[in-house]
């Protein structure tokens, strides 16, 4: 199904579907897009969405972290994205890392750092959509594959943690990582 379907057409289709079909349709077009399409045109970009998702600090063998320069804005952020209906957070981040970076990550190599929520996770997209994300933040130090990025990114690059770009999309998540590193250094 196309993301260009009208609100009326979508509602007409949904009325004929059972719950499992609705979940499958949502997965095909992405939950945030699906949710916006279900709203009348006059409020769809004014309604603040609450989104659940996951992000990853991917650390290489030099202690550098991977950031992506996104196509939709001039900011560097972490790989990650929205949870699909019925999806576990572990599956969300593994899927998003693969889609956005081409890297393979195993579930046992995910380290949960923190659940980050609140207004620090407010995000305004170029099309006017406003969302507040509840983000499960993972640390990944074991991965395989060759780094390649998808159409969401202009560039991906590993940065020295003391030389991160100023124009960050996820400063609150980066702070969680710094706090984690500081806490672990004090234990050593």
Given 47, 64, 79, the domain boundary residue is 47
Query: Token pair of 138, please?
Result: 């993972």
Query: Token pair of 104, please?
Result: 């393979």
Instruction: Indicate whether 39 and 76 sit together in one domain.
Output: no
Instruction: Indicate whether 70 and 149 sit together in one domain.
Output: yes
pLDDT at 72 over 80: no
Instruction: Indicate whether 72 and 141 sit together in one domain.
Output: yes
Instruction: Indicate whether 97 and 113 sit together in one domain.
Output: yes
Per residue in 75-120, pLDDT tens?
A: 899 999 999 988 999 999 999 999 999 999 999 999 999 999 999 9
Instruction: Indicate whether 31 and 64 sit together in one domain.
Output: no
Phi, psi of 85 (to 5 degrees): -55, 130
CATH number of the domain where residue 95 is located: 3.90.79.10
Instruction: Indicate whether 1 and 29 sit together in one domain.
Output: yes
Instruction: Indicate whether 95 and 153 sit together in one domain.
Output: yes
Phi, psi of 128 (to 5 degrees): 100, -15
Q: How far apart are the first and last CA of the chain?
A: 53
Per residue in 25-64, pLDDT tens?
A: 888 888 888 888 888 888 888 889 999 999 999 999 999 9
Q: How far is the C-alpha of 179 from the C-alpha of 114, rounded, in Å?
A: 11
Q: How many domains does the structure of the chain reveal?
A: 2
> In the predicted model, what is the mean pLDDT of the chain?
91
Query: What three-state secondary structure class fits 45?
Result: coil
Domain that holds residue 6: 1-47
Residue 10's pLDDT band (boundaries 50, 70, 90)? confident
Q: Name the pTM for this structure.
A: 0.88
Q: CA 10 → CA 19, 27, 82, 131, 161, distances in Å?
A: 14, 14, 21, 22, 45
Instruction: Indicate whether 20 and 113 sit together in one domain.
Output: no
Q: Which residues pair with 82 in a beta bridge?
A: 53
Instruction: Indicate whether 58 and 128 sit together in one domain.
Output: yes
Given 13, 28, 47, the domain boundary residue is 47
Instruction: Indicate whether 55 and 120 sit together in one domain.
Output: yes
Q: Please report how many Cα atoms fall inside a 13 Å half-sphere around the Cα of residue 17, on the Cβ side.
A: 14
Angle formed at CA 156 by CA 152 and CA 157, multiple of 5 degrees: 165
């Amino acid at each position: 199904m196309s993301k260009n379907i009208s609100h009326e057409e979508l509602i007409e289709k949904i009325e004929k579907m059972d719950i499992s079909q609705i979940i499958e349709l949502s997965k095909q077009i992405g939950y945030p897009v699906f949710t916006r399409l279900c709203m009348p045109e006059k409020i769809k970009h004014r309604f603040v969405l609450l989104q659940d998702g996951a992000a990853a600090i991917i650390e290489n063998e030099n202690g550098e972290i991977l950031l992506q320069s996104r196509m939709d804005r001039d900011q560097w952020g972490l790989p990650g994205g929205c949870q699909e209906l019925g999806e576990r957070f572990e599956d969300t981040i593994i899927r998003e890392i693969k889609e956005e970076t081409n890297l393979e990550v195993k579930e046992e190599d995910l380290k949960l750092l923190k659940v980050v929520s609140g207004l620090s996770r407010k995000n305004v997209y170029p099309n006017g959509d406003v969302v507040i994300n509840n983000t499960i933040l993972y640390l990944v130090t074991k991965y395989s594959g060759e780094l390649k990025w998808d159409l969401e990114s202009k560039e991906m690059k590993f940065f020295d943690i003391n030389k991160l770009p100023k124009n960050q999309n996820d400063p609150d998540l980066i702070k969680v990582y710094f706090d984690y590193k500081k806490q672990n250094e004090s234990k050593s």
